[in-house]
Amino acid sequence: MEAQTYTEGIRDARQVVIRDLVGRTLYLGKVSGSLYLENLEKCTIFVACRQIRVHNSSDTSIYLFVLSKPVIEDCKNIRFGSLNDFEGREKFLISCGIEEKTEQNKEAQLEENSHCTLSLNKWDQVLDFNSPSGMSPNWHKLEAHTTYVDFSLSKQLA
C-alpha cells in the first residue's frame, strides 16, 4: 500500500530537500523557494514551487506548478503533469512576487491573470542535464489536463 503525506506548504523555506523515498505520495503544498528531490522511486508528488531539481530518481510522477524550468539529472521515467489550479494559487503567486492585487484593478487583473498565470507555469520545459542537446528519453508529459489539488486536505486528516 502506498503511503501518503500531506503538508500545509513550506512558505518560508529557501530550500526543501527530500531524499530516499519509495512508493510515497506527497502533497507538499506551496514551497516559496526551491525543491530538491533525490533518490525517489515510484513516488507521486503534488507541489507548487519556485524551482525544482530532481536527481537520481525513477518511475516518479510530479504534478507541478513551477516558475522556472524543472531540472532533472541521472533520472529515468520521470513524468510531469500540470498543476495549474490549486488551493491558494493567488496567494502563492503574490508571496513569490508575481502578482499584486488591488481593489481598483482586481477585475481587470483577474481576467488577465487567468491567462497570464497559466503561462507562468513551466512544468513542461524540463532541462535534462544528461541530454543537453535536445529531446530527453528520461522524462515525458502526463495527460494534458488541469489537475486541481486542495492542499488543505491535511487539515481534514489531523
pLDDT tens across 59-99, in order? 999 989 899 999 999 999 999 998 876 666 677 666 666 65
Please give the pLDDT value at position 124.
92
- Alpha-carbon distance of 135 to 146, in angstroms, equals 24
Compute CA distances 93 → 6, 9, 17, 41, 68, whole Å: 21, 13, 21, 30, 13
pLDDT tens across 114-156, in order? 444 557 889 999 999 998 777 899 999 987 555 556 655 444 4
Provide the pLDDT confidence category of residue 10 given band limits of 50, 70 and 90: low
pLDDT tens across 20-36, in order? 999 998 888 778 889 99
By three-state DSSP, how is residue 153 classified? helix
Q: Please give the backbone phi and psi of residue 59, each rounded to the nearest 5 degrees, phi first.
A: 50, 50
Sign of CA dihedral 49, 118, 60, 133: negative
